[in-house]
Amino acid sequence: SQPSIAHAPVAAPSSPRHPFDLQGRVAVVTGCNTGIGAGIAVALAQAGADIVGLNRSDASETAAQVQVLGRRFVPVQADLSRTEAMAGVLAQVMAAVGQVDILVNNAGIIRRADALDFSEEDWDAVMNTNLKSLFFLSQAVARHMLECAAQQGAQWRGGKIIHIASLLSFQGGVRVPSYTAAKSGVLGLTRLMANEWAAKGINVNAIAPGYIETNNTEALRQDAARAGEILQRIPAGRWGQPADLGGAAVFLASSAADYVHGHTLAVDGGWLAR
């Protein structure tokens, strides 16, 4: 005879909202004037969120795409290599929108040289933009989220922080020592922040994009032999587009991911499965 297993009943949905619905949420997205950040900002807006774009460059194209969807786009000027400025950047965001529900740490740069020749200047540039500002912006936003939690009590809907990691969070790569170190660090910080903040109602997770067609990979794609090798190794048989990251970001930003903490979701056409 079969052993009997006690199952908890599946609760009926308590709200008519779709669990991926982001209406009424404000999402801060760094580096969303182009590339993956733009893809994510538009996807979050499609799901209903208003967007604050933290950019050092003009983001009017992304703003137009967000506004066409009927959502607000609030531009805030920010150079994320200036890590000491993060609390001030958040103050500007707060003055504009009052509350932040979602943070996507997307901005990033890459510098390529053999480890034997790599300069301290390139090391610092990548570490500051890709890791140090990610930490201090997350810290400032998490402090703000906890103030919201204290003020709003049971009405507070929780906070979501999403870091953009990389395949080089898992693999060594070549000629990208500071990028590899920074992106490995992003994974560590995703776990650490999840450990510290999960009980406080903040979900911290990461997305690891595979090879995506953006400015970041333009030099790589111009090397036809290398680009061909990469393509051959991607099980999905194509490079990714910025829009391919949208679904993962919407999921992790939504209440559907309320019980997901410290996870890194690869969106890589199967690269890591190989």
Residues that bind ligand NDP (CB under 6 A): 31, 33-37, 55-57, 78-81, 106-109, 129, 164, 166, 209, 211-212, 214-217
Per-residue tokens: 158: 């929780």
Residues 6+ apart with CB under 8 A from 184: 168, 169
**Is 259 annotated as catalytic?**
no
Q: C-beta of 155: minimal distance to ligand NDP in Å?
A: 33
**DSSP symbols for 139-202:** HHHHHHHHHHHHHHGGG---EEEEEE--GGGTS--SS-HHHHHHHHHHHHHHHHHHHHHGGGTE
Which one, 35 or 75, has the nearer CB to ligand NDP? 35
Q: Tokens 């920010």 correspond to what residue?
A: 78
Q: How far is the CB of 143 from ligand NDP (least distance, A)?
A: 21
Question: Phi and psi at residue 104, in whole multiples of 5°?
Answer: -115, 110
Longest CA span, the chain: 69
Q: Which is nearer to ligand NDP, 103 or 164 (CB)?
A: 164
Q: How far apart are CA 48 and CA 71, in angstroms?
A: 7
Catalytic member of 179, 197, 239, 251: 179
Rounded Cα distance between 13 and 274, Å, is 38
Please, which residue, 58 or 147, has the CB nearer to ligand NDP? 58
- Nearest approach in angstroms of CB 58 to ligand NDP is 9
Nearest approach in angstroms of CB 214 to ligand NDP is 3
Query: Hey, what are 259's tokens?
Result: 């019980």
Q: Which is nearer to ligand NDP, 123 or 156 (CB)?
A: 123
Rank residues 166 and 255 by Cβ distance to ligand NDP and give the closer one. Answer: 166
Is residue 72 packed enough to be buried (19+ CB in 10 Å), middle (13-18) or exposed (0-12)? Answer: middle
Q: How far is the CB of 88 from ligand NDP (least distance, A)?
A: 14
The residues annotated as belonging to the active site are 179
